[in-house]
Amino acid sequence: MDYRIEHDSMGEIKVPADKYWGAQTQRSLENFKIGNKMPKEIINAFAYLKLGAARANSALLSDRMTKEKLNIIEKVVSEILDGKLYDHFPLVVYQTGSGTQSNMNVNEVISNRGNEIAGKKLLHPNDDVNMSQSSNDTFPTAMHISAVLAIKTRLFPALSELTYALKALEKENEGIIKSGRTHLQDATPISFSQEISGWRASIERDYEMIEKSLEPLKNLALGATAVGTGLNAPKGYDVLVAEEISKISGVDYRTENNKFHALTSKGEIVFCHGALKALASDLLKIANDIRWLASGPRLGLGEITIPANEPGSSIMPGKVNPTQCEALTMVSVQVMGNDTTIGIAASQGNFELNVYMPVIIYNFLESVNLLSDAITSFTNNCVRGIKPNSEKMKENLNNSLMLVTALTPYIGYEKAAKVVNVAYENGLTLKEAALSLGYLTGEQFDNYFKPEEMI
């Protein structure tokens, strides 16, 4: 492999000749061989903020951020966002907790690639690309930008498709009456469409909560520089850079009024991920409902059928399992685990900086991406193929002893309970038990006992 010599404040170091990164990236690459690479969403967010910063600096410090420099930075950022330079961002999540070396990785790549385009030494990674910035305010800014964009571009479309599929399923199954269940025990009747509506409403409410939780994430730390005082950033830069990032990204970001809060607290990320955890909780519940209702095919509830996507056993021929439900529930518990990591990491802000930022955003983005993928798979490969087993639903409904609830206004709670006990202990129908006890005549029972009116 061919190398070139780069230098930083610590001296010289060899860097692969075909890579655009510089000395600080190389040192981090050699010192931290731990786990996964920094997510692409973070790299893209850095590209947005570096271009926004260059434009703001060009407006406020035109003698330093010249039009020529700005033009070159814009060209390199365009290449990053087009995915052409991802091989030049090799650093891992588990590095410095401020994300300093990832900030410098972006600075070095933009600088070196920019100088290659310009054909001369035009850009310096610190003096130009990092102008009016610090790693301490760029990384939390990248966190917020990437979090909002990931949810808007990936998770929301997936949730909308699931909601649409559930609405269609709800409409298809109007008029089908089945037994409700509470405590995993028989309960009073419910229509299948009502049961589905509960699932659908949960997803809609989760969407609303996540959407509300994005608002605090639209506050950006840029302009805080190292400790929140804004040292070395020109007046008005914080407001202007947020406006420029908004134009570039299409999201209305704004500067955070209290920059000291912006550097040390990660409450906004915790709050938003809490909404993601609420979604995961509902998804786990819905997936469990569906696999319970589809259990069997002969010895379970068997009230619905779901698509048979692949063989379910290597030893039992013909077995089919609710694999989409299982995948979704595994994703849900992973999101809950990520929430624990994020919460603990966010609690570790000391004085003017939190130094757990890379692990916080890595887990956040993993949650968003896992949920997006799993929801899309679940919608397409399970929900859209759910079919009711109307006969089984009717059979279970008719066998339910909790239909006796329809009689309590006429014979009272205690007598109704007696009817249930006699029916259960003697293998009788509710009507047979009520008549044997002399509580009702056959005509009265038929007049009062109408399951379809109990929903």
CA distances for 109 relative to 50, 112, 131, angstroms? 12, 5, 15
Q: Is 256 helix (H, G, I), strand (E, B) or coil?
A: coil
First to last CA, the chain: 74
DSSP string, 78-135: HHHHTTSSGGG---BSSS-TT-HHHHHHHHHHHHHHHHHHHTSS---IIIIITTT--H
* Distance separating alpha carbons of residues 349 and 87, to the nearest angstrom: 32
* Distance separating alpha carbons of residues 131 and 125, to the nearest angstrom: 9
Q: Give yes or no for a contact between 374 and 155, defined as CB atoms under 8 angstroms apart.
A: no
Active-site amino acid positions: 183, 313
* Distance separating alpha carbons of residues 148 and 44, to the nearest angstrom: 12
Map tokens 């193929």 to a residue. 385
Q: Give yes or no for a contact between 166 and 383, defined as CB atoms under 8 angstroms apart.
A: yes
DSSP string, 314-325: SSSTT----HHH
Helices (H), 228-297: 237-249, 259-264, 267-293
